[in-house]
Structure 1
């Protein structure tokens, strides 16, 4: 675990600027059909990250609704995936200056890292060996 001086301030409202070239391959690995992938690729997405003490809340706003990850780094938690309607067990933790959120006991669910590079929030999702990075700007 990193000490607090290594942890970047990810709080704020972040708006999707672009996806990298692997985004469609990643969505295929998730198991989405062509039509759904095309809709998702064009969707407006934003993220609100807040902290209260040690607790971090990441609220991802999508056209289908909000995905909410709320956790204390190092602790296991559950969240409802609005895309599937199922509850998922996850754990979040700091790895140096990178915030990592991983599924617990389910390799078919994506893991996500969030980090800052210059003025961008980079969100990298990986599932079944396929990764994609999404670039967000603070608004």
Structure 2
């Protein structure tokens, strides 16, 4: 059963977290370009925001199945797993609080006049840093899942 749960956990991470990370990181440069344009096109921005939102919801499966695997292996108290769970929670918080709302704000501003678009441009620039932190958090979790320092179950 643990092999099945681990398989679902890894597949969910690949299928949901990967696309969210890529879509979120693609959004800022396109947003900056469109906000600076005379007649911005928001179709790509809307698609990237939709991917970020929908796949984030699917991404809830990652920690759910991860906790099930950890419980099955009896390692929920291991430091590497506790840190991974905390970083996962931080990454989810960054996405929900700092990435998705700014994406929505940028899309709304892109449909407005030039002054409104110019006013939101600094937030679109900072979004690059925020999505970079989001990606770095997931990269750290991935490394912890592979290396598992101090784990009694691994290499």
Shorter-chain TM-score bucket reads: under 0.3
Larger Rg: 2
Q: Normalising by the residue count of structure 1, what TM-score does the alignment of the two structures yield?
A: 0.26
Structure showing greater relative contact order (alpha-carbon pairs closer than 8 Å, 6 or more residues apart): 2
| Greater percentage in helix | 2
| Greater percentage in strand | 1
